[in-house]
Chains A and B, each alone.
Chain A
Amino acid sequence: MLRVGILGVQGDIEEHTLSILKVMKSNGLKGEVLQVKSNGELSSIDGLIIPGGESTNIGGLISSRGLLKPIRDRLYNGMPALGTCAGLIVLAKKCYDRVVGDKSQPTLGVMDVVVERNSYGRQKESFEADLDIPILGAEKFRGVFIRAPTIVDIGSNVKVLSRLNDSIVAVQEGNIIGTTFHPELVEDTRLHRYFLEIIEGNIPQSKPRFLP
């Protein structure tokens, strides 16, 4: 049975939960979704979603509640993760704000990407646009960008999944996916399905593996 965790600190937790449950139902998968707010819940999950929200809040709380290291350890051991918008910022090695600049904020820092926060501007500048995401098929994916960041630099192991104009909006590094938009806000669940496939493929080999 699949156990998908949603980091339940802040943000659109229920929207991700609904998307995952919808995929499980349509694929006939046995599984459950649980909110992760403490170490105990973390140890029982096969994959983790870090939702959209405010990255300063999410990073601050996982730091003050002692969750940074345990989450990082599980990710280094190969646990799949999906971070959307704020979730991507929390996963990124480095981030800065387009207007305010560098702002020290606690993050997991496991993904080899540099992210610019509030990259398109403020809420007035938020938008929807059709995206090409080849791994999800030829059909366009409706991207919802809310005070969205952009990915301004990537490491050599990071695969670009989608671009909007020249800027990178979706990436994958190993078992970790990051998007600057919100797949959980739309009916289309292909990205969540892709994430569940990564988790399924990962389970047989997820027995003890050790840090490099």
Chain B
Amino acid sequence: MISLAGTIPSPKCIVREKLVEVEVVRGTTLVKRGFAHMLKHGVIMDVTNVEQAQIAEDAGAVAVMVLDKLPYDVRMAGGVARAASLRVIEEVLDNTTIPVMAKCRIGHTAEAKVLETVGVDMIDESEVLTPADEERHIWKWSFTTPFVNGARDLGEALRRIEEGAAMIRTKGEPGTGNVAEAIRHLRIVNGEIRILRSIYESGDEQELVKAARELKVCYELVAETGRLGRLPVVNFAAGGIATPADAALMMNLGCDGVFVGSGIFKSEDPAERARSIVTAVTYHDDPKTVAEAQRMVDEKKSMEGLDVHKLELKMQMRGTA
């Protein structure tokens, strides 16, 4: 039983066809959000080539995310960051048994259609890449492939779901190795959900309408969030996770799983780090096992961190409309 709230009437993404004798339907909210539910309690790892994808799969990642450069390197390189080369994405698709995701630029519908066509399992409309449209995100109800979007607060999260996102992640501050922003965003979302929950329980519908206006999102999604006491889609943490303890902390704060971007392949012990973070996510509520996971990595080999207060580029400020 999963929530299907916010589904628009007859979205373009629905495909009805015959599979031999049987009538099947693809691209439904159930199939798209359901895919995200299979990733729960798992780790999705950023990779830039097939070798890294192999390491991630062997370490127990639930999916890999293909990028041209890791977020840390995107920062260092500057310029315009776009979707990864299709050659790399297709090579990863052909050699990986776990789901393969790829990032496209915010608002870049054509880049996303390309990714859907080559057959990635999920598209991340990501602030790590340079936004193509500063005003609008992609209308994700036109895609059979599910989308994940970043959010800093509940309004952003619900607006992305209203546009058709099947999964949400915190934005954090990508490529910094600093988990503070991801924690801030998750706490903001959780705090706002608590308020909606108490309004919902009070039975004051007018107050829910007022909340919907403030969040700039439809009433149905606001009421459903209040009823559930959580987002109606799977919510992962992302942005700055670098150690097993970082991942365990995010899980303890109530997210459904984690994305690790630069944290693994900008470290000097990627295979051990990947395995240790996978263990820490599953056993996040057991400090002994998290300590065991933390022992698998060496702090001297962690990625170099960046002070978020001194950054010239705040990726989290992209695509907030």
Contact residues of A with B, CB < 8 Å? 8-15, 18-19, 22, 37, 52-54, 56-57, 60-61, 64, 85-86, 97, 99-100, 103, 117-118, 120-130, 144, 146-147, 164-166, 182, 184-187
- Which single residue of chain A is at the shortest CB-CB distance from B42? A10
Q: Tell me, in angstroms, the Cα distance from A124 to B118 when the chains sit together.
A: 10
Q: Which residues of B contact A122 (CB under 8 A)?
A: 93, 99-100, 119-121
Q: Are A126 and B40 in contact (CB under 8 A)?
A: no
> Are A53 and B38 CB-contacts (below 8 A) given A147-B99, A184-B1?
yes
Q: Are B31 and A129 in contact (CB under 8 A)?
A: no
> Are A12 and B37 CB-contacts (below 8 A) given A128-B25, A184-B1?
yes
**Binary interface profile of B, 46-79, with partner A (CB < 8 Å = 1, else 0)?**
0000000000010011110000000000000000
Contact residues of B with A, CB < 8 Å? 1-2, 19-26, 28, 30-31, 34-35, 37-42, 57, 60-63, 93-100, 116, 119-122, 144-146, 278-279, 282-283, 286
Closest chain A CB from B206 CB (angstroms): 30
Q: Name 30 A/B residue pairs within 8 A (Cβ), A-sorted.
A: A11-B40, A15-B37, A18-B1, A52-B37, A53-B38, A54-B60, A54-B62, A54-B99, A56-B57, A56-B97, A61-B282, A85-B38, A86-B38, A97-B97, A99-B94, A100-B94, A120-B19, A122-B99, A122-B119, A123-B35, A124-B145, A127-B31, A128-B31, A147-B99, A164-B19, A165-B19, A185-B1, A185-B30, A185-B34, A186-B30
Q: Are B144 and A164 in contact (CB under 8 A)?
A: no
- Which single residue of chain B is at the shortest CB-CB distance from A58? B60
Q: Are B23 and A130 in contact (CB under 8 A)?
A: yes
- Which single residue of chain A is at the shortest CB-CB distance from B2? A185
- Which single residue of chain A is at the shortest CB-CB distance from B286? A37
4 closest A-B pairs by CB? A123-B121, A127-B24, A165-B20, A57-B60
Q: Which residues of A contact B38 (CB under 8 A)?
A: 11-12, 52-54, 85-86, 146-147
> Are A147 and B121 CB-contacts (below 8 A) given A53-B40, A117-B97, A129-B25?
yes
Q: Tell me, in angstroms, the Cα distance from A146 to B2 when the chains sit together.
A: 14
Q: Which residues of A contact B40 (CB under 8 A)?
A: 10-14, 53
Q: Are A61 and B279 in contact (CB under 8 A)?
A: yes
Contact of A56 among B37, B60, B146 (CB under 8 A): B60
Q: Are A10 and B282 in contact (CB under 8 A)?
A: yes
Q: Tell me, in angstroms, the Cα distance from A99 to B116 when the chains sit together.
A: 18
Q: Tell me, in angstroms, the Cα distance from A185 to B32 when the chains sit together.
A: 11
Q: Tell me, in angstroms, the Cα distance from A120 to B19 when the chains sit together.
A: 10
Q: Which residues of B contact A166 (CB under 8 A)?
A: 20
Closest chain A CB from B73 CB (angstroms): 27
Q: Which of B26, B41, B62, B63 has the most CB of A within 10 A?
A: B41
> Are A57 and B1 CB-contacts (below 8 A) given A124-B26, A124-B119, A125-B26?
no
Q: Which of B30, B37, B42 has the most CB of A within 10 A?
A: B37
> Are A15 and B282 CB-contacts (below 8 A) given A57-B42, A144-B31, A185-B30?
no
Q: Are A53 and B60 in contact (CB under 8 A)?
A: no
Given A100-B95, A128-B24, 4 other A-B residues pairs in contact with their CB atoms under 8 A? A12-B37, A100-B96, A146-B31, A184-B1
Q: Which of B97, B119, B120 has the most CB of A within 10 A?
A: B97
Q: Are B97 and A9 in contact (CB under 8 A)?
A: no
- Which single residue of chain B is at the shortest CB-CB distance from A166? B20
Q: Are A127 and B19 in contact (CB under 8 A)?
A: yes
Q: Tell me, in angstroms, the Cα distance from A53 to B35 when the chains sit together.
A: 9
